[in-house]
Structure 1
Amino acid sequence: MNLRFMKKMNKKLLVLAFFTAFGFLRAQDTDEAVLMKSDTTSSTKKVKLDGIAAVIGDYVILDSDIEKTLIDLRSQGASTQDITKCSLLGKLMEDRLYAHQAVQDSLLVSDDQVNAQSDRQIQQLVSQVGSMEKVLKFYKKTDVESFRTELFEINKLRMLSEKMQSSIVEEIEVTPEEVRQFFGKIPEDERPVFGAELEIAQIVKQPTAPEEEKQKVIDRLMQIRQDVLENDASFNVKAILYSQDPGSKSKGGFYSMTRETPFVKEFKDVAFSLQQGEISEPFETDFGYHIIYIEKIRGQELDLRHILLIPEIPQIALDTAVKELDSIRQQILDGKYSFADAALNFSDEKETKFDGGLLRNPINFDSRFELTKMDPALYNQVRNLKDEEISRPIKEDDQRGGPPKFKIMKISNRYDEHKADFAKDYLKIQELALREKQFKAIKDWMDEHIDDTYIHVNTDNRGCDFANKWVKE
């Protein structure tokens, strides 16, 4: 697998990220679905309802599924110029093989997890277009229940597929020697070119609420808890009325979670210390103060509801944070501190302060950010900064609902567009080497399980030049 192939695979993965899965049906060994219909002469004739493109294990892929996927890609703004019916069918077959084998291997996802994901998607859609009625009209659905049913089927297949793929590659690693060999095999004229990059450092001040405001929130949560326990008030209703968590407020504070769910440690520690039906005492996280009610325990999975209240931060605390940053900035400009020393001594952001304030790319934890791939919000904060210039204080709101923070920023280094260098770009080359090894593992897995799984491809599609050997001799 050379770099040209890797580039094709990357492009393929980018396009396939838009795919949705349709056609969750029981397998039948037939080339087309037909409907028996009576005419006026009482004779019957076959009317073609929908062609069956392929069957993978217990999953059927209809011709209409391919058309739906193509329409979905276009609706999301993806270019479909180079996408063929055969390539779409091949991807839908891959998804179903993953899902089929996940069930065989007992890599299951619960209905509650699927419903929670569907609820989040519906909330996002409603917030984007304004109402549930507009969502139903856009997706040409007559009622909410039919929309939820189809969304459930789509999400379950996708989540099974993702779980299977993750299990294939989760333990794959590359050694430094494998990275060196991978890079050495790339011809000089085919080595990747990395775009212009920045290294960015910041010093953060996080305003905090005074103790009296924190106590007000704690007392309010205790009142809510007492009302539920002693007066049989509804925790669900209380969460809808009072919670300040935008992600769960409309659902009565509901979350379904396991120990692997990406919640902050303090939240998970409390949640998994409670018994079914128990309500926690108020506790603090970076987001504010919470109480948790455990609705149901299913093995290692919890259904819970929570209420988040955020102590009010007075304007004087916000103004103080800005003044402190202005003072720190001036001391750096006057030469009293280097930016790195000021970050270590004054920054409230523990993730960056011990590294000179240096930001890490969340994709690969490298210190560099490629300009064409930067988060737009981060790019807008630094795009006008010159080398060694330090920004004025910038306010940054927490999209997750937490309190705002203020920061000053600096571009520590700029790297022009350049051909890959093993020493300078080791982390990026390591990522490419790992991806190649993962692709090979997935290809080997695919070949093995295609042989072991019932697969039927409609005669009209057997001439496709599939990436995998779907058509068996």
Structure 2
Amino acid sequence: MHNIFKKFNTLLALILIGVFSANAQDNMVDKVIAVVGNQVVLKSDVENRFLSFQAQGYTSGSVDLKTEIFEDLLIQQLMIAQAQVDSIEVTEQEVEDQLERKMDMYIQRIGSKEKLEQYFNKSIIDMKNDLRDDTRDERIKEKMQAEITKNIHITPAEIRAFHKTIPQDSLPTIPGELQIQQIVKYPKISENEKDRIRNKLREYRERVLSGDSFATLAVLYSEDPGSAQKGGELGYMPRANLVPEFANVAFNLKTDKVSKIVETEFGFHIIQLIDRKGERINVRHILLKPQIETEKRTASITKLDSIADLIREDKMDFTQAAYFFSDDEDTRNNGGLLVNPYTGTSKFERDNLPPAVAKVTNDLKLNEISSAFLDVTGGKDAYKVIKIKSETKAHKANLTDDWSIFENMLTSQKQQEILNKWIVEKQDKTYVHVDDSFKNAKFRFKGWIK
């Protein structure tokens, strides 16, 4: 579908919508500029996205950029209005899963959770809150589109015929792609260090119970950069937004009560409940992260180097080694294959690899095993050895190597034809009112102005 929101895929563009939204709305008088069924489009919706696109240097090739943005929003609201009629819904878990994938992608591009939060001066939770409504709308639209186009079937003969219609000089260039396998070791934290952290948190807890301000202590001592500056406050959120160990304690607290020490993958916490509204809670927390001792880091590197030697000496293949030795639950059962959060496949363009992995692959040959290196992912130190399992060079698309590319192109073309027809039909049957400021706009679909 001709959709302007698919034209940007860099980290900055994807997040700027949320960032500019907060800034732009402070400086404009908002108003409803369209009603589609029972859905509205606000002036701020268009302006915020326009600012994001300007920051990217994007210009529209055929129509006014604001008009193109506005029409995409009209189409989205048309689909959401129909989704309500057809009882197509998304669950909170679907929205949270999609937000989690977005955050993983942003963190991968910028390098770490901490860098992301520092760059935008917002916690991950605040960013999710900024993006939640848009993400819910996107997911509803995706489901509606899938429902509209669900009966498309493509035959091999159609794909071959479609390929013949594309001039040679118009064939897409397929970028080079890599498949990367990894074995991960998380350096152990000593019990002495864990005891040191627990003792600090016990001290802070006692100070709160004796009358000190939890918020002040969070500002002074919490190692969560996203919430410390706000007195440790996370804002209202459902259970699904929190890691299980944290949620289990937080949701059982009474107002103003302070929890005992909670250990999660991020470190150690104490939590104070501020308020609860139904299935959402607002809490403060103080996070302390244990330091990893040099000898523990060295032990992880030594272990990985010995595993790498076993593979190099053909005493074990990489897939087996990943299964038996890797600490990463997400990849150990699939041979250590990294999954690309942009595509959901195991193939990466070099620009989309995690930065530390990309740097190592620059000097790595196909099927060669790297030396152990540090990769900080999600704020957690991980030591890795990697292998380039496969590599394809950039090339002009052809049926032999890129059948799925042409299948997807033809499928997209048929989907677009069906969606265009659907939009025209629904425009005629759905209440649509567009503000007079757009009455002379050059829309792709003529039925918006009635």
Which TM-score applies when normalising by structure 1? 0.68
Secondary structure, aligned partner of 2:299: helix
Q: Does the 8 Å CA contact 1:96/1:161 hold for their aligned counterparts?
A: no
Q: Deviations over 1:329-365 (max 9, x none)?
A: 2222122221222222221112112222111112333
Q: Determine whether 1:338 maps to 2:317.
A: yes
Q: For residue 69 of structure 1, report the CA deviation from its aligned partner.
A: 6.2
Written as runs of structure 1 = structure 2, the 5 A alignment for 1:127-138 is none
Retained in 2: the 8 A contact 1:99–1:161? no
CA distance in 2, matches of 1:343, 1:462: 61
Q: Label 1:394 to 1:68 Cα distance change in 2 as closer, same or farther (>3 A).
A: closer
3-state SS, counterpart of residue 80 of structure 1: coil
Q: Distance in 2 between matches of 1:443 and 1:281?
A: 60
Q: Secondary structure at the residue paired with 2:269?
A: strand
Distance, in Å, in 2 between the alignment partners of 1:447 and 1:382 is: 51
8 Å CA contact 1:95, 1:161 repeated in 2: no
Deviation for aligned residue 1:202: 0.9
Match of 1:244 in 2: 223
Specify the SS of the correspondent of 1:367. Answer: coil
Q: Match for 1:188 among 154, 157, 163?
A: 163
CA–CA distance in 2 between the matches of 1:456 and 1:91? 14
Q: Distance in 2 between matches of 1:183 and 1:264?
A: 46
Cα deviation for residue 197 of structure 1 reads: 1.1
Aligned match of 2:102: none
The 1:318/1:370 distance shift into structure 2, 3 A limit, reads: same
Residues 243 and 253 in structure 1, CA contact (< 8 A), matched pair in contact too: yes
Mapped to 2, the partners of 1:283 and 1:321 lie a distance apart of 26
Task: Give a deviation string over 1:397-445, Cα, whole Å, max 9, x none.
Answer: 24x433x121111101112346376998769967995998699679857
Secondary structure of 2:203's aligned partner: helix
Choose from 194, 201, 223 the match for 2:181. 201
Structure 1 window deviating more from structure 2 (405-414 vs 338-347): it is: 338-347
CA RMSD of aligned residues (A): 4.6
Q: How does 1:28-107 map to 2 (within 5 A)?
A: 54-56=33-35, 72-74=52-54, 76-80=55-59, 82=61, 84-85=63-64, 87-92=65-70, 94-95=72-73
User: Match of 1:411?
Assistant: 388
What CA deviation, in whole Å up to 9, does each residue of 1:275-308 have, x standing for no partner? 3333222121111112222211111221111111
1:214 paired with 2:219, answer: no
2:30 aligned with 1:25: yes
Partner SS for 1:181: coil
Gaps of 5+ in 2: 93-113, 122-126
1:192-219 Cα offsets, whole Å, 9 max, x none, are 6542211101111111111121122123
Q: Does 1:163 align with 2:136?
A: yes
Match of 1:401 among 370, 379, 398: 379
Between Structure 1 and Structure 2, which shows a larger proportion of helix residues? 2
Please tell me whether the aligned partners of residues 206 and 348 of structure 1 are also in contact (alpha carbons under 8 angstroms).
yes
Q: Is there any run of 5+ residues in structure 1 with no aligned partner, and where?
A: 1-5, 28-53, 110-122, 131-151
1:369 to 348, 372, 378: 348
Equivalent position amino acid for 2:179 in 1:
E
Higher RCO structure (Cα 8 Å, ≥6 apart) = 2
Letter in 2 for 1:469: G
2 CA distance for matches of 1:195 and 1:356? 24
User: Structure 2 CA distance, aligned partners of 1:438 and 1:260?
Assistant: 35
Counterpart Cα distance in 2 of 1:447 and 1:235:
58
User: What amino acid does structure 2 have at the position aligned with 1:167?
Assistant: I
Matches of residues 318-333 of structure 1 in structure 2 within 5 Å?
318-333=297-312
| Structure possessing the higher radius of gyration over alpha carbons | 1
SS in 2 for 1:384: coil
Query: Cα 1:13–1:194, aligned 2, differ >3 Å: closer, same or farther?
Result: same
Q: What pairs with 1:342-357 in structure 2 (closer than 5 Å)?
A: 342-357=321-336
TM-score, normalised via structure 2 length: 0.71
Instruction: Report the Cα distance in structure 2 between the residues aligned to 1:222 and 1:350, rounded to whole angstroms.
Output: 32
1:272 alignment counterpart: 251
Deviations 1:234-279 (A, max 9, x none): 1111111111112212112221321343x43332333333333332
What fraction of aligned residue pairs are identical, expressed as a percent? 26
Number of residues of Structure 1 aligned to a counterpart in Structure 2:
395
Kindly state the Cα deviation for residue 386 of structure 1 after the two structures are TM-superposed.
0.6
Q: 1:421 to 1:344 in 2, by over 3 A?
A: farther
**2:264 is equivalent to residue 291 of structure 1:** no
Q: 2: distance between equivalents of 1:353 and 1:324?
A: 16
- Which residue of structure 1 lines up, in the alignment, with residue 124 of structure 2? none
| C-alpha distance in 2 between matches for 1:246 and 1:326 | 34
1:14 is matched with which residue: 8, 16, 21? 8
| 2:361 paired with 1:386 | no
Distance 1:414 1:359 in 2: 14
Report the CA distance between 1:373 and its aligned residue. 4.0
The residue identity in structure 1 corresponding to 2:289 is I
Does the CA contact (< 8 Å) of 2:224 and 2:286 recur in 1?
A: yes
